[in-house]
Amino acid sequence: MTIARLHPQLKLTRTLTGRLATSGFPVLGLPKSSEFRGLVRAPKGFSIYEADYSQIELRTAAELSQCDVLIDVYVRGEDLHAKTAHEVLGAPKEKDKQDEVTQRRPAKVGNFSMLMGTTPSGLTASVHAAGNLEWSKNCPGCKSWKAKHVNCDSEKFMDGFFRTFPGVRQFMNDRREHALKTGKAYGMWGMEWYLPGAWSPHEEVREATLRQSHALPVQEGAQRLIKQAMAAVSSKDLPWAAKRKARVEPILQIHDSLVFLVETDFAKEWHERVTKTMSTIVKWAVPIEADGKFGPTWKEMSKL
């Protein structure tokens, strides 16, 4: 068996949000459950180590919107998906008493989808993809774009979400109004995007553009954060590891994670160091958390 490394070409300016893109081997598109991740294997004496931010886009949204309710969830260390399931879907307050398919999954999908500006039909499609096919199954509007939404679970969820997190709705409305006035969107790190589609006479184009006015800042905020973490790890943590005569090799930044090749005996020390760096990179109203896991392959990994 021949062991070799595949090197995709990284594209730094291909996406609007600053997220990396690649050509060649689609390493950024491999799902976590993909068997192909098992082919990324560490040599003897080493492990694949991955440090990832916990719910970083939702935490970024909390910082951008300054929604008191959303911030409070993270400050208290509560489970956001459990709170949404309880407040919006009427599930029991305790996470372990909530039904995974009918309550937990829709809440989780909804939390991530709302900030991206989903539509009722879009939310229904996402919940179906997550495994709940009963969701809005009798809503004509979710079956055909020509029909109206009637007794729609997605519309009910969206109304309940905005009642629960009013600061998020205000943030989204403010960014939409800004786009309508200026034809632009802006992020937390100074980036601007031109969005002339906000003035389109076509409703579909206009609405899709206005959704970008609040989705782009959230995605860009999270991506700029991970890039700052990369810079800090490179300038501080890698030299620290070298002084300890431990070999650590950065492999990849993928979405909200940093992936390294690290000596197995040094993995725990590296984990404590790099997650501290990532968690303290900026000071926001919400705490930033980073988790780590390692293993012999990129698929067979255990939490530290």
Domain boundaries, the chain: 9-56+223-303, 70-164
Decide: helix, strand or coil at residue 94.
coil
Could you list the pLDDT tens digit for every one of the 304 residues in the chain?
455 676 777 777 767 777 777 776 677 777 777 787 888 889 999 999 999 999 999 999 999 999 999 999 999 999 999 999 999 999 999 999 999 999 999 999 999 999 888 999 999 999 999 999 999 999 999 999 889 999 999 999 999 999 999 999 999 999 999 999 999 999 998 889 999 999 999 998 999 999 999 999 999 999 999 999 999 999 999 999 999 999 999 988 888 899 999 999 999 999 999 999 999 999 999 999 999 999 999 888 999 8
Per-residue confidence (pLDDT) for residue 1, from 0 to 100: 43
Residue in 139, 56, 151 with CA at minimum distance from that of residue 128? 139
Per-residue confidence (pLDDT) for residue 3, from 0 to 100: 58
Residue in 115, 106, 99 with CA at minimum distance from that of residue 136? 106
Region 9-56+223-303: CATH code:
3.30.70.370
Instruction: Indicate whether this model's pTM tops 0.95.
Output: no
Alpha carbon distance 208, 129 (integer Å): 21
Per-residue confidence (pLDDT) for residue 4, from 0 to 100: 66
Inter-helix orientation angle 166-182/68-75, to 10°: 130
CA gyration radius, the chain:
21
